[in-house]
Amino acid sequence: SAVISQKPSRDICQRGTSLTIQCQVDSQVTMMFWYRQQPGQSLTLIATANQGSEATYESGFVIDKFPISRPNLTFSTLTVSNMSPEDSSIYLCSVEKRDRLNYEQYFGPGTRLTVT
Amino acid sequence: GESVGLHLPTLSVQEGDNSIINCAYSNSASDYFIWYKQESGKGPQFIIDIRSNMDKRQGQRVTVLLNKTVKHLSLQIAATQPGDSAVYFCAETVMSGTYKYIFGTGTRLKVLA
């Protein structure tokens, strides 16, 4: 299994500012993912962040708006830049852990962002 | 604050009855599928998974059925309990440049006492 913590758990920010969300895992993992979950909706993948390489962004998400760092195998950050009210959402990081037969994805508790 | 699943389809089930939650997936090349449970204020939690070379897998009180012909996945929960109330998501794994998980719309399960 994997235990994931995120900071902050929630924040209220003014439009035009930026917020960096931290994700810490209790063990080393190769693959980390960042998702956005808008109120009442499913999870949308923002990007995949593998250590040692640039993050891979999904359609509709760009590095200038959501820069990601992955300095080591247990930590990642997602920055939401130049925020607008449309960025209000829950942001979740997740990791994938694999053994010989199985692989599972574990999620952090999420960061609830409100932009005013 | 607003809870997860406020606008999602809702399935209401009497406590003790069986629940069936359905999901349609999009990519015929997907080879691995997972069901997640998400309680309010928490991240999704793994429930059960199934590979594309199987059509049924059972866990404790849960069963996942996979129909690749119509790209349909279902989650059956036996003897539904109040603690099962949550939002349930299916996810498929896709290799498209990189390996990633694509989540379905989600269903809110409400267990009635």
Residues on chain B touching A103 (C-beta within 8 angstroms): 32
- pLDDT at residue A39 above 50? yes
Domain boundaries, chain A: 19-108
Q: Identify the bridge partners of residue B12 per DSSP, sorted by sequence position.
A: B110
Among chain A, residues having any CB pair with chain B shorter than 8 Å are 4, 31, 33, 35, 37, 39-45, 48, 50, 56, 58, 90, 92, 94, 102-110, 112
Task: Give me the pLDDT at residue B2, please.
Answer: 37
Beta strands at A111-115 and A10-13: parallel, antiparallel or unpaired: parallel
Q: What is the pLDDT of residues A24-38, one digit of tens each?
A: 999 999 889 999 998
Task: Give me the pLDDT at residue A14, please.
Answer: 97
- pLDDT at residue B62 above 80? yes
A37-46, A74-83, B68-77, B79-88, range with the lowest pLDDT: A37-46
Number of structural domains, chain B?
A: 1
Give whole-number Cα distances, A41 to A91, B44, B69, B107, in Å.
12, 13, 27, 10
Q: Which CATH architecture has domain A19-108?
A: Sandwich (2.60)
Supply the CATH number for residue B81's domain. 2.60.40.10
Residue B71 lies in domain: 10-108
Q: What is the mean pLDDT of residues A40-58?
A: 89
Distant-in-sequence, close-in-space partners of B26: CB < 8 Å, separation ≥ 6: B71, B92, B102
A43, A101, A114: best to mutate for the B interface, most B CBs within 10 A: A43
Instruction: Examine residue B91 and state whether it is found in any structural domain, yes or no.
Output: yes
